[in-house]
Amino acid sequence: MTEAFRPNLADYLRSGILIIWFLFILFAIMLIVVPLTILTWGKATNWMIKNLGYIIGASCLWVLNIKLDINYAEGKKPEGPAVFLINHSSTLDLFVLLAIQMPNIRFVAKKEFQYNPLFFVLGNLTGQIFIDRSNSESAVRKLHDEIERVKRKNLSVLFAPEGSRTHPGVIGPFKRGAFRMAIDLGYPIVPVYIENAKKLCPGAAMLAKSGTITVTFQETISTENWSHKTLPAHIKETRDRYLDWAGVTEDIPEAELTV
């Protein structure tokens, strides 16, 4: 916890209620997702992610008394297909992503999420992409295997290129996976900047303060002229944008920026 993070009794109470509510609503929605997936042969997946996901995310933020302020640099929400990127620094990011209702989206998440049986069932039934962050070769292979399915179904993909909510600096080092997949898919990249989540709930904390989180869909980045050879420069350029949005003037030492 940072020095600025000073929860009061009401914050502790809301956070306790959140844990109970989150488990309850996950279980309740699983009871909807399983039969609906079977009855529709998986054709309702996008609807479920957008609408049932919204119920999970919005209701959990409501319990915590956290409001969302959503902005669009291009005047409207990008429809995709695209590779969406988010800066990741808080447990709240999951609820925020579900609450903003991105169309035809699949989330790239760490395989450890599947250790929770509810996440395992919901994640696999809705076609989320789980990767082994500790094994680069395995992660790259998994993402490559998903390319055909993503293109065939005209899906968008969302990555947290920092890989973890606990990382050095305000914006952590970016990994290559999201950028490689954008090139292979021929998709543009849409950076999404989440502001204030870390102040309300830093890192892996399960305790959150009430407040407002600002989400900005930044201008789309074309990958039309990108190549795997020029990837490091594109990664740096994209990460520099996040540093600028975060108002960071002093970055992580170059030796730590292993992408």
Report which of residues 85 and 117 the model is more confident about. 85
At residue 2, the pLDDT reads: 45
Q: Band the pLDDT of 21: cuts 50, 70, 90.
A: very high
Distance (Å, whole) CA 155 – CA 174? 23
Location of structure tokens 């959503």:
70
Cis peptide before 168 (omega within 30 of 0): no
Amino acid at 258: T
What percentage of the chain carries pLDDT values higher than 90?
A: 73
239: Cβ–Cβ under 8 A, 6 or more apart, which residues? 161, 171, 173, 174
Class of residue 145 by CB neighbours under 10 A (exposed 0-12, middle 13-18, buried 19+): exposed
Report which of residues 108 and 164 the model is more confident about. 108
250: Cβ–Cβ under 8 A, 6 or more apart, which residues? none
Read off the pTM.
Answer: 0.91
Location of structure tokens 């079977």:
38
Domains and their CATH numbers in the chain: 9-247 (3.40.1130)
